[in-house]
A and B are shown apart, each in its own frame.
Chain A
């Protein structure tokens, strides 16, 4: 959800800038969009869709996640010249590194998970269990590249609780920049056309 917020904010900022400068808003000209579909579909079934995600054994699901990230990396590399995409690629590589080093899952430590759920997760789960969509519950001592894991939290005064990684931060920044400051001259659109 937090990353979708970055996309939405980038779009609104880009639209606002274009409107303020009385220029046409430009759409990022992605290449090979089919790669996104092919990369995401396995994740949809093994991580996001509640009906199917429990059907996947953990080892198969982690292998699928790594394969999916590889396809996403290919897509990002093909579109590396777009503004913001280099930042997004670095974020993807950081997430890929920590996920690959920890058995194909994004590690999250019990203390962070406690904060998210509001209860002691170790009373209902064991270390090494899947947590949420792509995470695995691991103690910080047993986590490779722990500084790249889901360890950052939003301020406590926000009611929305989420943990995110350094890679997620860069992915959000890259996505924001991609929509807030596009450079492609093709597929242009007047902002008045959107608001109408």
Chain B
């Protein structure tokens, strides 16, 4: 259990502010293209 916790702490310590900024920028761009794009997908079908 202690070892698992130590590994978790090590993993989270590597996620710094810049990683979060990168993730936020990509998420923002993904939402942007979803919002302004209008492709029709086969999986959607008639409403």
Show the binding face of A for B, using Cβ within 8 Å: 1-4, 6-7, 11, 25, 27-28, 30, 33, 36-37, 39-40, 43, 48, 53-54, 68-69, 72, 75-76, 88, 91-92, 95, 99, 106, 108, 112-113, 116-118, 121, 124-125, 129-135, 150, 160-165, 167-168, 171-172, 175, 178-179, 187-189, 193-194, 196
Contacts and interface: CB of A to CB of B under 8 A. Distances in A.
30 contacts: A3-B33, A25-B22, A43-B34, A54-B47, A68-B35, A69-B35, A72-B36, A116-B45, A117-B45, A117-B46, A129-B46, A129-B47, A130-B47, A131-B45, A132-B40, A132-B41, A132-B44, A132-B47, A161-B41, A162-B39, A163-B40, A165-B39, A167-B38, A168-B38, A179-B29, A187-B25, A189-B21, A193-B18, A193-B19, A194-B22
Contacts of A172: 33, 37
Contact of A4 (B14, B33, B45): B33
A36 B38 contact: no
Given A40-B34, A194-B19, A196-B14, A112 B40 contact: yes
A158 B33 CA distance: 22
B47 A189 contact: no
B14 A27 contact: no
A7 B36 contact: no
A72 B32 contact: yes
Interface residues of B, number: 28
Contact of B39 (A3, A48, A113, A175): A3
Contacts of A53: 47
Q: For chain B, what secondary structure do more than half of its interface residues adopt (helix, strand, loop), or is it mixed?
A: helix
Contacts of A164: 37, 39-40
Contact of A133 (B28, B30, B32, B44): B44
Q: Is the interface of A mostly helix, strand, loop or mixed?
A: helix
A147 B38 CA distance: 14
B3 to A, nearest CB: 20
Nearest to B42: A161
Contact of B35 (A2, A6, A36, A121): A36
Contacts of B45: 116-117, 131-132
A92 B41 contact: no
